[in-house]
Amino acid sequence: MKEFKVAFLGFGNVGTGTYKIIKENGSKIFQREGINITVKKILVRNVNKKRPVEVEPDLLTDNIKEIIEDPEIAVVAEFIGGEEPAREYILSALNNKKTVVTANKEVMARHWEELENAAIRNGCGLYYEASVAGGIPIIKVVRESLQGNNITEIMGIINGTTNYILTKMSEEERKFEDVLAEAQKLGYAEPDPTSDVEGYDAMYKLSILSTLAFHTRVRISDVYREGITNITPEDIAFGKELGYTLKLLAIAKKHGNKIEARVHPTFISADHPLATVRDAYNAIFIKGDAVGNLMLYGRGAGDLPTGSAVVSDIVNACLHQSKHMYSTLCNGDWKADEVLFDNNWETEFFIRMTVIDKPGVLAKIAGIFGKYGVSISSVIQKGRNSIHVPIIFVTHKAKEMSIKKAINEIKNEDVVIKIGNVIRVEH
């Protein structure tokens, strides 16, 4: 039997979930893997605070040095979240030759090179399965099951908060603000929901996932980001009439030497596999040249689902102490010169605007679209009982920059009251 002592940095939702799994399933892990995992120290801000999980008082500490300088601790699991002091603590643990397991998508997306190089230099591991999609083993699948594939596309729902909000808006015809308030009460959304609803959380995760899938460093600055705060019940209702479902999607595609990476609200066909993913669940659709289409589905957050991924990483770290696995980009060539990041992708667009109801308006707007090479697939005009009416255009595939130029010109026309929304459409 091999004994491994582990320390936790932080003891919030995911930390307590991980602790529960180790305590409750430790004997099963021993039977299956032959290792005994013991939590020796837990770093917290306040050692006297009452906690939802009962722990021995001598496990708690507010001094990081008690963990970093303890030679018995082999693995450090980080649950602090955010950029600092998480980065500092992870780096300090690695430099003290301790393997690190983290669920921190922001620190990995922003500081991957620095942290992985420190792990390599010190001969220890850096594991981050829980940083993307909670309990779904997506990183393991990409790294260890799809090596024989050239992955050309990733499209996924990787933020449970926004998926919950959009599900409720769609099924109950409610406004964004109302559903957000409910999600906060239920604990699906943070008191400050910016990271989720503005797409930052999904941006960090897509940076990590597309880097692994495309074997090229895709930084957060390479990812286009747009949140769901401007989505209205009208957008969703009009989309339904057209056979669409609205999701906040993380999309990455590779065409030759070009990579596009983007997070934004997206209409997809109601019969697309991702369209049926409801509430706080996550799902990731992957396309490989050999395997074809795959979709992984499950809980993308929560104490036990995310804790499951953390425990898996801890077990792997203990089993592979002498040979840790690093990304294929660990030689420092994180961004090949020949790779280009494309911000002028091609897709279909749903465009809702309010115009003055009079003859010639449609022709004038269609003419501007045509000027920029944008072809119209369908037009829906709603209501004739007011001088102002909503019009919905759905385009054929068009370039992102062509749409932006057309919209900039159209919104200045005197017959256009406002541009309600521009939403991309994927199939």
287 a catalytic residue: no
Burial of 405 (0-12, 13-18, 19+ CB in 10 A): middle
Options 3.40.50.720, 3.40.50.10260, 3.40.50.300, 3.40.50.10470; CATH for 2-134+305-319 is 3.40.50.720
The tens digit of pLDDT for each residue in 385-418 reads 678 999 999 999 999 999 999 999 999 999 999 9
Q: What is the DSSP string of 5-47?
A: EEEEE--SHHHHHHHHHHHHHHHHHHHHHSEEEEEEEEE-S-T
Mean pLDDT for all residues in the chain: 94
Rounded Cα gap, residues 239 and 169, in angstroms: 12
- Mean pLDDT throughout 105-126? 95
pLDDT at 324: 85
User: Phi first, then psi: what are they for 78, rounded to 5°?
Assistant: -100, 125
Fold of 138-300: Dihydrodipicolinate Reductase; domain 2 (3.30.360)
Rounded Cα gap, residues 205 and 133, in angstroms: 8
pLDDT at 321: 84
Options 3.40.50.1110, 3.40.80.10, 3.55.30.10, 3.30.70.260; CATH for 346-426 is 3.30.70.260
Domain boundaries in the chain?
A: 2-134+305-319, 138-300, 346-426
pLDDT at 56: 93
pLDDT grade for 207, boundaries at 50, 70 and 90 = very high
pLDDT at 326: 83
Query: What pTM was computed for the model?
Result: 0.95
- Mean pLDDT throughout 247-259? 96
Amino acid at 301: A
pLDDT at 328: 64
Of 41, 105, 168, 205, which is the active-site residue? 205
pLDDT grade for 424, boundaries at 50, 70 and 90 = very high
Rounded Cα gap, residues 59 and 79, in angstroms: 16
pLDDT grade for 231, boundaries at 50, 70 and 90 = very high
Two domains, one topology: 2-134+305-319 and 138-300: no
pLDDT at 329: 65
Q: Looking at the predicted structure, is the pLDDT value of residue 323 above 90?
A: no
Q: Looking at the predicted structure, is the pLDDT value of residue 22 above 60?
A: yes
- Mean pLDDT throughout 270-274? 95
Q: Extract the tokens encoding 389.
A: 């009416």
Work out the percent of the chain whose per-residue pLDDT is above 70: 97
> Does residue 220 sit in helix, strand or coil?
helix
Peptide bond into 191 cis (omega under 30): no
pLDDT at 335: 55
* Side-chain half-sphere exposure of 347, counting CA atoms within 13 A: 24
Q: Looking at the predicted structure, is the pLDDT value of residue 332 above 80?
A: no
Q: Looking at the predicted structure, is the pLDDT value of residue 285 above 60?
A: yes
pLDDT at 301: 87
Q: What is the DSSP string of 94-106?
A: HHTT-EEEE--HH
Q: Looking at the predicted structure, is the pLDDT value of residue 92 above 90?
A: yes
The tens digit of pLDDT for each residue in 155-168 reads 999 999 999 999 99
pLDDT at 339: 85
